[in-house]
Structure 1
Amino acid sequence: MSTGLYGAKLAGFGVGHTGTGVILGLIPFIVVFLASALAFPSKGE
């Protein structure tokens, strides 16, 4: 999981340090974060 988040960070930096680069870098990070948040309760408590 840490590797995926780290990869998303690298992808963001790879695009560039511009505002667009930051946004594009945050998109996969947010997607992974939301996916994890949704998967957590789905696994059953």
Structure 2
Amino acid sequence: MHYHLGLAYEKTEQPALARQQLERVLKINPNYSSAADVKKRLSQLRS
């Protein structure tokens, strides 16, 4: 749920909220199946 919410925030140009949700994904489950994508997106949001 947090992953998809993060993507929605990213698409609606709300980077702070997107970052918050994507960070929550990794906090809840560091081995999430799309963890590599989450980390990539977080890196892009931070730059």
Q: TM-score range by the shorter chain?
A: 0.3 to 0.5
More helix by share: 1
Q: Which of these two proteins has the greater Rg computed from alpha carbons?
A: 1
Normalised TM-score (structure 2): 0.43
